[in-house]
Structure 1
Amino acid sequence: MKLPTRRLTQNVLTVAGRDAGEPVLFVHGNVSSAAFWRDAMAALPEGYRPLAVDLRGFGETDPEPVDATRGLRDYSDDVLELIAELGLDGVHLVGWSMGGGVVLQALRDRPAAVRSVTLVNPVSPYGYGGTEGPDGRLTHLDGTGSGAGAANPDFVARLKAGDMSDESPTSPRNVFRSAYVKNGPIPDEDFYLRSMLTTRVGETHYPGDAATSAAWPHVAPGKHGVLNALTPTHFRLDDLHEIAPKPPILWIRGADDVIVSDTSLFDLAHLGVLGVVPGSPGTPAQPMVTQTRAVLERYGPYREVVLDDCGHSPHLEHPAAFHRLLGDHLREA
């Protein structure tokens, strides 16, 4: 359904006949859409109302520009306005990858609206790239090492062109096969690929405006678009442990994730250590998982579940285990 709000018109997926019960709002990750939650929505236990939103610039929601200087708040404010517009109370939030950061920001800003949180391979609370150590200290004060300049230009071009081929390692299809999941093929691969291709490409969307730096690896955060919204100078959740109330958090992650990892293959610092990006002065990889764990340890009521033989998308790779874990968490909240 299309829902006009004060900020923009948002596209929300629902399940026929499931318009009552405790609301469960699913938030997708980067280069995807609400369609990635199709099966998880249908598998929710009785008594729950499944909803999944397309974030701005993805799926069929309005492609309003992303002000990266607000971190992920353009997205989280949209989600909070959607909750208010629908009159939802005590929402269970489920966020995958970048969507994990979106729901944590929404929790940080309006904890009383949230009944529980489920994080699925979430971005670090200290953003993506440009930090070191469990406390997320900046490698450079300007966030060098993160931002839109880190995006692979061939992938961006193929995404913009709607490329559904597998002719290049950087085609969206092969990125899905090599990074979104560990083991393929995933049923309905074309369905998920078409969801990826709904991503708006440009300086105010994906990846954003590129900025340069004199320091290695010579990219710094810009002011617009998705990847800049994820930089540590714009998105940082240092005070999550101070909110009240504190709804319970379930953190589900794949053991073999190459996107969100302490040794991520998308982190320029780690690629430098590996020699893939030349000229590294020895900058250590961002310990993304360690950082998330440190923030949640301070927060309090959370549980971490690691699924073996699983990459970035547990809801696609191990659906039975994912549905069971989510259902149990909702019932216990």
Structure 2
Amino acid sequence: MTTLTARRIPTARLTQHILEDASKDVGEPVVFVHGNVSSSIFWQDAMLVLPERYRPIAVDLRGFGGTDPLPVDATRGLRDYADDLAALLDVLHMERAHLVGWSMGGGVVLQHMRDRPTAVRSLTLVNPVSPYGFGGTQGLDGRLNSPDGAGSGGGTAHPDFVRLLAEGDRGEESPLSPRAVLASYYVKPPLRPEREDEYVESMLSTRVGDDHYPGDSRPSRAWPGVAPGTRGVLNCLAPTHFRVDDLDIAVAGLPVKPPVTWVRGEDDMIVSDTSLFDLAHLGAIGAMPGWDGTPAQPMVGQTRHVLGRYARVGGRVREVTVPTAGHAVHVERPKEFGEALLETLAEGV
């Protein structure tokens, strides 16, 4: 059976940790980018089923897994991560690659394609963060709820989850422990993944603090009273810092646009139009005090809107909805995910 190996690779920006099939040093590169509070470990099964013609690589983003824990400059949105990815591909001499991004990683690969569209063969998005960031917006066009981005950023993380993550909690006595969050939100209950212990360790590899997860924050006069800061993971997802709604403009001059496949779990509660991680939706259901009527962020609708614009300039876009699946479709439903991925890779430019 094929096994994956790990190594650390120095680049012009930082030393990055990757998983790869060491027996494959040729073939079309397929680069997997994980989401928030996780690492490359979540991609193992997806990597192992790729046919011989592909060369799979999964990278740990800065501050996760075995990659250097350099601070995250949130004022650049997700560009610290996207530029790190570009530096890795340069060292590996991968001029053009298929990119696969999950959750926050979906935003990273979107940013990479926005900045370097000719370097992308195809794009596969797995329950990606909205092109307008996470929290703090309304409407399909991502209008800010407040000029300061109130309702997004580092101050929106639950402090008990942050504490248990920092403490390395491996149990599930608390509903906010990493294991409980994995079992309740990363996958749809009652599924318990076969690699659950590995995934928990992956989550616990997240660096915690103002420079990492969740990041710093500042007070706001607008509900819910917290606005994004300038450092760390959740702030780089704030809509005041991250927006990739102009993919259509970025690729308008290309004769052939990279095909985009969007795979999403129908029952995802993290990236959703009614996300249980969006303070506005929590306010609407009475779980956040003082709600002022701010509408929930239509995360799925916003992604569909932006990809629709991409399609109108000639980009090939396919949306694959997987019933009864949650946030980690590639973990929960590997067969359906693999079929969608292989079809996209075959269409790559």
State, as a whole percentage, how many aligned pairs show the same letter: 63
Task: Determine which of 342, 345, 348 is the counterpart of 1:327.
Answer: 342
Tell me what 2:156 maps to: 150
Matches within 5 A, 1:12-23: 12-23=18-29
Q: Secondary structure at the match of 2:9?
A: strand
Post-superposition offset of 1:238: 2.6
Tell me what 2:3 maps to: none
Q: Gapped runs of 5+ residues in structure 2?
A: 1-6
User: When the two structures are superposed, what TM-score results if normalisation uses the length of structure 1?
Assistant: 0.99
Tell me what 2:142 maps to: 136
Does residue 162 (structure 1) correspond to residue 162 (structure 2)? The answer is: no
Does residue 250 (structure 1) correspond to residue 261 (structure 2)? The answer is: yes
Post-superposition offset of 1:3: 0.7
Post-superposition offset of 1:70: 0.3
Task: Determine which of 171, 176, 191 is the counterpart of 2:177.
Answer: 171
Matches within 5 A, 1:50-89: 50-89=56-95
- Opposite residue 226 of structure 2, the aligned amino acid is V
Post-superposition offset of 1:318: 0.4
Divergent runs of 4+, >4 A: none
Task: Determine which of 311, 315, 318 is the counterpart of 1:303.
Answer: 318
Post-superposition offset of 1:234: 0.1
Does residue 200 (structure 1) correspond to residue 211 (structure 2)? The answer is: no
Give the Cα–Cα distance (whole angstroms) in 2 for the partners of residues 137 and 100 of structure 1: 21
Tell me what 2:273 maps to: 262
Give the Cα–Cα distance (whole angstroms) in 1 for the partners of residues 25 and 50 of structure 2: 12
Q: Deviations over 1:78-133 (max 9, x none)?
A: 00111111110320000000000000000000011100000000000000000000
Tell me what 2:241 maps to: 234
Give the Cα–Cα distance (whole angstroms) in 1 for the partners of residues 289 and 51 of structure 2: 50
Q: Gapped runs of 5+ residues in structure 1?
A: none
- Opposite residue 244 of structure 2, the aligned amino acid is L
Post-superposition offset of 1:215: 1.3
Give the Cα–Cα distance (whole angstroms) in 2 for the partners of residues 187 and 210 of structure 1: 37
Post-superposition offset of 1:201: 0.2
Tell me what 1:182 maps to: 188
User: When the two structures are superposed, what TM-score results if normalisation uses the length of structure 2?
Assistant: 0.94
Give the Cα–Cα distance (whole angstroms) in 1 for the partners of residues 108 and 142 of structure 2: 18
Matches within 5 A, 1:38-117: 38-117=44-123
Answer whether contact 2:136 2:238 (CA < 8 A) is retained. Answer: yes
Matches within 5 A, 1:278-289: 278-289=289-300
Task: Determine which of 7, 25, 33 is the counterpart of 1:27.
Answer: 33
Give the Cα–Cα distance (whole angstroms) in 2 for the partners of residues 289 and 19 of structure 1: 37
CA RMSD of superposed structures (Å): 0.7
Give the Cα–Cα distance (whole angstroms) in 2 for the partners of residues 56 and 199 of structure 1: 9
Give the Cα–Cα distance (whole angstroms) in 2 for the partners of residues 182 and 22 of structure 1: 33
The number of equivalent residue pairs is 333
Q: Deviations over 1:139-192 (max 9, x none)?
A: 101100101100000000100111001110000000001110003111120010
